[in-house]
Amino acid sequence: MPDRRTIAVIGAGYWGPNLARNFKANPDWELAAICDLDRERAQRVADAVGGAAVVTSLDEVLADAAIDAVAIATPARTHHDVVCAALAAGKHVVVEKPLADSRELGERMVRAAAERGLVLMTDHTYCYTPAVMRIRQLIEEGELGDILFVDSVRINLGLIQPDVDVFWDLAPHDLSVLDFILPGGLRPKSVSAQGADPLGAGKACIGYLSLPFGNGSIAHVHVNWLSPTKIRQMVIGGTKRTLVWDDLNPQQRLSIYDRGVDIDRQSAATAERRAATVSYRLGDTWSPALPEHEALAAMASEFAAAISEGRPARTDGHAGMRVLSVLDAAAISLRAAGAAVPVDAGHASPSNRSPLEVVA
Amino acid sequence: MPDRRTIAVIGAGYWGPNLARNFKANPDWELAAICDLDRERAQRVADAVGGAAVVTSLDEVLADAAIDAVAIATPARTHHDVVCAALAAGKHVVVEKPLADSRELGERMVRAAAERGLVLMTDHTYCYTPAVMRIRQLIEEGELGDILFVDSVRINLGLIQPDVDVFWDLAPHDLSVLDFILPGGLRPKSVSAQGADPLGAGKACIGYLSLPFGNGSIAHVHVNWLSPTKIRQMVIGGTKRTLVWDDLNPQQRLSIYDRGVDIDRQSAATAERRAATVSYRLGDTWSPALPEHEALAAMASEFAAAISEGRPARTDGHAGMRVLSVLDAAAISLRAAGAAVPVDAGHASPSNRSPLEVVA
Amino acid sequence: MPDRRTIAVIGAGYWGPNLARNFKANPDWELAAICDLDRERAQRVADAVGGAAVVTSLDEVLADAAIDAVAIATPARTHHDVVCAALAAGKHVVVEKPLADSRELGERMVRAAAERGLVLMTDHTYCYTPAVMRIRQLIEEGELGDILFVDSVRINLGLIQPDVDVFWDLAPHDLSVLDFILPGGLRPKSVSAQGADPLGAGKACIGYLSLPFGNGSIAHVHVNWLSPTKIRQMVIGGTKRTLVWDDLNPQQRLSIYDRGVDIDRQSAATAERRAATVSYRLGDTWSPALPEHEALAAMASEFAAAISEGRPARTDGHAGMRVLSVLDAAAISLRAAGAAVPVDAGHASPSNRSPLEVVA
Amino acid sequence: MPDRRTIAVIGAGYWGPNLARNFKANPDWELAAICDLDRERAQRVADAVGGAAVVTSLDEVLADAAIDAVAIATPARTHHDVVCAALAAGKHVVVEKPLADSRELGERMVRAAAERGLVLMTDHTYCYTPAVMRIRQLIEEGELGDILFVDSVRINLGLIQPDVDVFWDLAPHDLSVLDFILPGGLRPKSVSAQGADPLGAGKACIGYLSLPFGNGSIAHVHVNWLSPTKIRQMVIGGTKRTLVWDDLNPQQRLSIYDRGVDIDRQSAATAERRAATVSYRLGDTWSPALPEHEALAAMASEFAAAISEGRPARTDGHAGMRVLSVLDAAAISLRAAGAAVPVDAGHASPSNRSPLEVVA
């Protein structure tokens, strides 16, 4: 199997075991090692996945010429140093979201990967779920028409994180999905963030993001650590149809409503706005069957494919940067009482998006 | 029946028939007349409720000494003139929400009523539903503890109104409920509004309001005319319990979750915020049975009681003004790209709120 | 309007007001009178619908040559006498379900109508709802394939009726729908009934009906007065697709699942049953939009059309008899500890079912 | 750890891996071996759980004096022979449901265990779930009052089994729960079974069981392999409250409705049944928080505790026999067109039910 590559997982905390299990089971990969400062923790992960070398030194892993790539699941504040060291050692890298804890450091990582011709991938796991892949496909094929609005809610009783607020903890999920499914990627004009810390935890535990786009459409994200009811729902309104993704309803995760409001744009364009003709469509609802696969398995395959084909991964460093740019602008807006903060227009989505079939 | 008062309904459009039906059926009231410029429309309403005089002239109604009060259901932009004329004629007034279409005009109406010692009531209908009355009671009795956040969603496929945007059309419902249930009434520090008009209708069809309060808590409102799924849900998070009001689930409209996040405030107050102890409670859920009554019937009774007892109505002009102040600030924020706009601190909630028993 | 006919409503109790309101509003009909022994009750109904003559004598109504038809909403035990008197007087008749309280009396009523060439219609209201009309259409067009099973649940906290058990009170709804949607009408081989009276009410308050059909398929009905949760759901399993009708979910009343079990019938027919190939389809779900109309309005129109066209009504006396035959067999089975009781094969469904378009 | 016992798992097919994983992880047990005729299959299970001896001969396992107990997960038709051989070798036994494939063989197994003083336990897994343990507790403590009815639905698209019908495949789950929660255990007067095989699979794919009890109450079970919608719901109606267990709603698995029908039993006892006073209660709904634990872990602990304490296991052979007696009577009823078949009154529930605390 000449294409089989060797990988080490760095970090055996919360997410590392999932990465280890999936790279172990993936035919494209050989899991060589689990690396963590805490040997016992690394050993437990190695045992649970049926065996792998255990290493406590990052340098040792990076010095091992037999290792082609690393999957990094360490805290966000360490991403820059660990990723840059791995790239310097010639390793391809996939790194847990968010790409980095600041925009500047993220930029350096992307540049470092580009200079060395290595794959730098962000583990935007949700983008590899059957539901999100189907949403992207439906939008690409024009089933929804032009996107008018996206409203995303991700609320639950959640652990108050010691080092990040609720925006940095939860919103990367929503933002990475937006980046993946919107035709132009996540490129809002500006970001307004509203946060609240009613318990005095020292950081926002409730957050709202408004992301207006140039064409009049808007995305909005609600993240909340303090809600006893769990909601994970995204409504995507289009000119032709509207889609609701309810991630907690396994029996009907996606619903596509063939209904909406039509406005007679000719009359709307005149001075007589009051006379604008509005009409309603009340059509059928449709819920596509989804294949069942684990998202991380598809992510691992995509990482291998990107390396083999010498192309950017579907959720590459630029995707990570578009998410990071919004988080960065949100942090500034938060300090400015919610004022609209422009988002830098760098990191254009690649003109030749890799086709969906690759990971389907 | 010496307490029975006589009322005329002004406006026979969308809401007038409901007012007419309820005042007709209420033992405290005698429905004297339906007034509308369109005689046929007024006649249809009079017939449907089992008979009432039909009048096409407002002056004629106001000149009729036998009429004690008027219920006004004309477009918002006419409220000021009609209400002031009625007050000048010595009539008690109940007026459809919003109180007026500008803060300034609303102030004049409130002053006019106060000067004449007449009851000016805003028809905040939701405040008279069994669900909202129970929510207020639960908060008053301390069942939820201190309020940390309120998240309100009111989205549906809705008619694009010719003269108002989605904030002025839908948000008065959420805001009037907030004013009614929050211990201090609706008195946020500031308002940030985000709107979108993706169809080019000439006004916001999607809207988000953020209302931070002085104590670190926040209320947020999402109103949307373009959503094919109908959601009317309010989550009220408290330090002791959290309440979810799902107005579209008649079998379990209110759910109270005895769970939440506790933070050790002593440690949180120290510099070492990261060490703040967080603990979770996963308790029972409870759904109170609600009595069944029509909200407008309770509203009509409260109007009569306020007049009889010479006291402000439960949803008086000041309540209307607190709602109007937020709408007014939202309109300014909208023009300022969502910047936080302070809300004037006038119109304090009355120190002696009328007890709930009156309308129970 | 030469086709407009005149009707009187007999019985002003629970159902009579609904009939009166719908015949009053229907352009095919003129509502001439409300007849009830209790004059006040009749008067209240007449007032509520905007006026009609009030009569306390059935004879007087039947003697009135200007009256073409009567709609009967008196207790089931009086149906035979009232209907036969009306037919004898030459009136067309629509009668509330069930047609009669015994099979024998029902037969006499059907014969009497046939002999006089008059329309005898059973008010199987559910058959005129948009949901049930659409179900029938989907089955007729072959969308579900052959019907394998129908499981119907109708449970709620219900008033224990003084004169009938839960089968006679609730099951006519399910049975009339089955009769309406099944290609051959409601013609099971036999009926087994299980009832329970755990409160000692003197009659079954919980009931289960099993209705095996000749082709191996089965229908089952669960009716229950003692359930605090309200369920009104019918699952219709077909060889091609399965339909779920959830009458309490207005946002998605009908769901059609394009999935099921396929069995390789050739192998199944051999002795080697264990080797029978079974395969699964997990296809999309689809929820058709339904028009909104009141069922009773469509029923009133169908009654008029049947008279005008000289044809049986869609839910004619024979349909009523097929429902009654099952209820009659169920009562016998109940006394025989649930033994299977054959259902008489009379009352074939009409070979030329009137097309759906008539009432659409 | 003197109490630690040694166990072998017999059968590495569908259920064996779950047993192996749980006995491996349980501090009361040492997992000694996995036994299966197919060595590779056994090895895969041993590897997956982190190691155990692999044996292909049952005799070898039973001859090993170091093994105290066996957990049997072979096809039901082999249970008798395997269990009896294990008991003869002096091993304690836990066996997958159903206990046996006939009542007679089940009796022999229970006798054999009693004669040797060994624990024979049936793996009624559902009885060890937090939800079912809580239901039993609520009934024991009188929260529901007397039980009036139980309605259980377990339907889904299911694999048509080669050797058993839908009753033997699915109903043991419902029946074992009924046996566990009902104060007197599962002791109906008789069983009526209705089955359908509309696809010509050679066995019932749809089944209904009616189980009337001596006191007028009834249990009813609906099992179905052909339903594209998955429902797992049990409604338990009591004189004081009614409980709904929705096993597919993790956010509100149990709901207790404080509402119901009250009948004035004094008047009901008179000849004037029609005058029986009926009253309704519309009270609150309550959903208890449930602890999270894996049912099989609690089952494994209970098996160890029963051995240590020399007492019958909570779901002992007699419980297995009560379930088997109903399945046996159902099979006879099925061949007799649904006639009521009496259930033998043997296998009384133990007078001293082991307290719930043991496995909590």
Cβ contacts of C47 on chain B, cutoff 8 Å: 50
Quick check: bond before B188 cis, omega within 30?
no
Per-residue pLDDT reduced to its tens digit, B273-295: 444 556 667 789 999 999 989 99
Of A71-80, A222-231, C31-40, C110-119, minimum mean pLDDT range: A222-231
Q: Can you tell me whether residue A169 is helix, strand or coil?
A: helix
- The beta strands (E) that lie in chain A are given as 5-10, 29-35, 53-55, 69-72, 92-96, 120-123, 147-157, 190-196, 206-212, 218-224, 226-238, 242-246, 254-263, 278-287, 341-342
**pLDDT mean over A293-309:** 96
Q: Does D250 touch chain B (CB under 8 A)?
A: no
- The beta strands (E) that lie in C49-189 are given as 53-55, 69-72, 92-96, 120-123, 147-157
Per-residue pLDDT reduced to its tens digit, B347-360: 655 443 444 333 33
Residue A52 resides in a domain: yes
Q: Residue B240: left if φ>0, alpha if ψ -120 to 50, beta else—which one?
A: alpha
Length of chain C: 360
CA distance A86 to B245: 51
pLDDT category at C221 given cuts 50, 70, 90 is: very high
**Contact yes or no for A225/A231 (Cβ under 8 A):** no
Q: How many CB pairs under 8 A join C and D?
A: 194
What percent of chain B is predicted at pLDDT more than 70? 90
The per-residue pLDDT for D157 is: 86
Q: Can you tell me whether residue B80 is helix, strand or coil?
A: helix
- Whether the per-residue pLDDT at C2 is higher than 80: the answer is no
**Contact yes or no for C316/C176 (Cβ under 8 A):** no
- Whether the per-residue pLDDT at D120 is higher than 60: the answer is yes
Number of domains in chain D: 2
CA distance B70 to B190: 34
The per-residue pLDDT for B232 is: 95
Residue B342 resides in a domain: no
Shared domain check, B132 and B281: yes
Task: Tell me the nearest-neighbour CA distance from C168 into chain A, angstroms.
Answer: 36
CA distance A179 to A338: 22
Q: How many CB pairs under 8 A join B and C?
A: 6
A128 by Cβ neighbours in 10 Å (0-12 / 13-18 / 19+) ranks as buried
Instruction: Tell me which DSSP letter residue B74 carries.
Output: S
Of C255-264, D39-48, D226-235, minimum mean pLDDT range: C255-264
The per-residue pLDDT for C359 is: 32
Structure tokens at D76: 């039901």
Domain boundary among C236, C261, C286: C286
Q: List beta partners, residue C254.
A: C245
Per-residue pLDDT reduced to its tens digit, D270-283: 444 444 556 667 78
* CB interface of D with C, residues 340-359, below 8 Å: 340
Residue D331 resides in a domain: no
- Whether the per-residue pLDDT at D1 is higher than 60: the answer is no
Q: Does D196 touch chain C (CB under 8 A)?
A: yes
B348 by Cβ neighbours in 10 Å (0-12 / 13-18 / 19+) ranks as exposed
CA distance B202 to D210: 63
**pLDDT mean over C204-220:** 96
**Contact yes or no for B214/B222 (Cβ under 8 A):** no
What does the mean pLDDT of chain A come to?
A: 90
CA distance C88 to C113: 9
Task: Sort strands D69-72 and D5-10 into parallel, antiparallel or unpaired.
Answer: parallel
Look up residue C59 and give its amino acid: D
**pLDDT mean over A66-94:** 97
Shared domain check, A109 and A148: no
- Whether the per-residue pLDDT at B316 is higher than 70: the answer is yes
Q: List beta partners, residue C8.
A: C33, C70
Indicate which CATH number applies to the domain containing C194: 3.30.360.10
pLDDT category at C355 given cuts 50, 70, 90 is: very low
Instruction: Tell me which DSSP letter residue B354 carries.
Output: P
Per-residue pLDDT reduced to its tens digit, D155-187: 998 888 888 999 999 999 999 999 999 998 999
More confident residue, D250 or D244: D244
Shared domain check, C135 and C93: no
Helical H segments across D117-212, by residue range: 130-140, 166-181
**pLDDT mean over A29-42:** 96
pLDDT category at B161 given cuts 50, 70, 90 is: confident
Task: Sort strands B206-212 and B218-224 into parallel, antiparallel or unpaired.
Answer: antiparallel
Helical H segments across D141-275, by residue range: 166-181, 265-269
**pLDDT mean over B70-86:** 97
Neighbours of chain D (3+ CB pairs under 8 A): A, B, C
Helical H segments across C15-78, by residue range: 16-25, 39-48, 58-63
Shared domain check, D188 and D251: yes
Q: Can you tell me whether residue C37 is helix, strand or coil?
A: coil
Cβ contacts of D252 on chain B, cutoff 8 Å: 285
Q: Does C229 touch chain B (CB under 8 A)?
A: yes
More confident residue, A232 or A271: A232
Shared domain check, B253 and B223: yes
Structure tokens at A294: 């684990």
The per-residue pLDDT for B353 is: 46
Quick check: bond before A98 cis, omega within 30?
yes
Per-residue pLDDT reduced to its tens digit, D279-328: 667 789 999 999 989 999 999 999 999 999 999 999 999 999 999 999 99
Cβ contacts of B258 on chain D, cutoff 8 Å: 289
**Contact yes or no for D112/D84 (Cβ under 8 A):** yes
Angle at A21 between CA A17 and CA A23, to 5 degrees: 115
Structure tokens at D75: 């096809």
C147, C210, C254: which to substitute to probe chain D, counting the most D Cβ within 10 Å?
C210
Maximum pairwise Cα distance, chain C: 73
**Contact yes or no for A215/A149 (Cβ under 8 A):** no
Dihedral sign computed on CA atoms, order B257, B263, B266, B268: negative
pLDDT category at C347 given cuts 50, 70, 90 is: low
Look up residue D208 and give its amino acid: Y
pLDDT category at D354 given cuts 50, 70, 90 is: very low
What does the mean pLDDT of chain B come to?
A: 90
Cβ contacts of C252 on chain A, cutoff 8 Å: 285
- Whether the per-residue pLDDT at C358 is higher than 50: the answer is no
Domain boundary among C267, C286, C305: C286
Beta carbons within 10 angstroms of residue A155's beta carbon: 23
**pLDDT mean over C265-283:** 55
- Whether the per-residue pLDDT at B241 is higher than 60: the answer is yes
CA distance D227 to D224: 6
Which residue is associated with the tokens 């694009």?
Answer: B160
The per-residue pLDDT for A358 is: 32
Cβ contacts of B252 on chain D, cutoff 8 Å: 285
- The beta strands (E) that lie in chain D are given as 5-10, 29-35, 53-55, 69-72, 92-96, 120-123, 147-157, 190-196, 206-212, 218-224, 226-238, 242-246, 254-263, 278-287, 341-342
ipTM value for the complex:
0.89
Shared domain check, A89 and A181: no
pLDDT category at C64 given cuts 50, 70, 90 is: very high
- Whether the per-residue pLDDT at A360 is higher than 80: the answer is no
End-to-end Cα separation, chain C, in angstroms: 22
Per-residue pLDDT reduced to its tens digit, D18-47: 999 999 999 999 999 999 999 999 999 998
pLDDT category at C135 given cuts 50, 70, 90 is: very high
Distances (CA, A) of D147 to C157, C198, D131: 16, 9, 18
Partner residue facing D284 (CB), from B258, B282, B287: B287
Task: Report the b/e string of A235-274 with b at 16+ CB within 10 A.
Answer: bbbbbebbbbbbbeeeeebbbbbbbbbebeeeebeeeebe
End-to-end Cα separation, chain A, in angstroms: 22
**Contact yes or no for A19/A70 (Cβ under 8 A):** no
- Whether the per-residue pLDDT at B131 is higher than 90: the answer is yes
- Whether the per-residue pLDDT at A252 is higher than 80: the answer is yes
Shared domain check, B154 and B200: yes
**Contact yes or no for C66/C281 (Cβ under 8 A):** no
Domain boundary among C286, C303, C338: C286
Shared domain check, C149 and C20: no
pLDDT category at C279 given cuts 50, 70, 90 is: low
Beta carbons within 10 angstroms of residue D211's beta carbon: 27
Smallest Cα–Cα separation from D161: which of B241, C120, C291, C276? C276
Look up residue D281 and give its amino acid: R
Residue D109 resides in a domain: yes
Structure tokens at C146: 């052959």
Q: Which residues contact B104 (CB under 8 A, 6 or more apart)?
A: none
Dihedral sign computed on CA atoms, order C167, C169, C172, C177: negative
CA A135 to chain centre: 14
Residue D57 resides in a domain: yes
CA distance A96 to A75: 9
Q: Which residues contact C147 (CB under 8 A, 6 or more apart)?
A: C139, C182, C183, C217, C236, C237, C238
Q: Can you tell me whether residue B57 is helix, strand or coil?
A: coil
- Whether the per-residue pLDDT at D261 is higher than 60: the answer is yes
CA D348 to chain centre: 16
Angle at A226 between CA A180 and CA B228, to 5 degrees: 50
CA distance B267 to D281: 48
* CB interface of D with C, residues 113-142, below 8 Å: none
- Whether the per-residue pLDDT at D64 is higher than 80: the answer is yes
Task: Sort strands B69-72 and C120-123 into parallel, antiparallel or unpaired.
Answer: unpaired
Indicate which CATH number applies to the domain containing B61: 3.40.50.720
Residue B193 resides in a domain: yes
Do the chains contact at D289 and B289, CB–CB below 8 Å?
A: no
Shared domain check, A133 and A99: no
Shared domain check, D281 and D303: no
CA distance A313 to A304: 9
Partner residue facing C50 (CB), from B47, B229, B251: B47
Residue A33 resides in a domain: yes
CA distance A265 to A278: 9
Q: Please state the φ and ψ torsions of residue D76, each to the nearest 5 degrees.
A: -55, -35
**Contact yes or no for D51/D39 (Cβ under 8 A):** no
The per-residue pLDDT for A228 is: 84
Q: Which residues contact A328 (CB under 8 A, 6 or more apart)?
A: A102, A103
Shared domain check, C224 and C144: yes
Cβ contacts of A47 on chain D, cutoff 8 Å: 50
Structure tokens at B150: 């309120």
- Among chain D residues, the shortest Cα distance to A249 is held by D249
Do the chains contact at B276 and A202, CB–CB below 8 Å?
A: yes
Shared domain check, D237 and D120: no
The per-residue pLDDT for D347 is: 61
Q: Does A270 touch chain D (CB under 8 A)?
A: no
pLDDT category at C48 given cuts 50, 70, 90 is: confident
pLDDT category at B51 given cuts 50, 70, 90 is: confident
- Whether the per-residue pLDDT at B346 is higher than 70: the answer is no
**Contact yes or no for A157/B280 (Cβ under 8 A):** yes
Residue B344 resides in a domain: no
**Contact yes or no for A97/A106 (Cβ under 8 A):** no
Q: Does A287 touch chain C (CB under 8 A)?
A: yes
Structure tokens at C77: 């035990």
Q: Which residue range forms the structural domain that includes residue A90?
A: 5-126+295-316
pTM of the model: 0.88
What percent of chain D is predicted at pLDDT more than 70? 90
Q: Please state the φ and ψ torsions of residue D169, each to the nearest 5 degrees.
A: -80, -50
The per-residue pLDDT for A110 is: 97
Rg of chain A, C-alpha, whole Å: 21
- Whether the per-residue pLDDT at A185 is higher than 60: the answer is yes
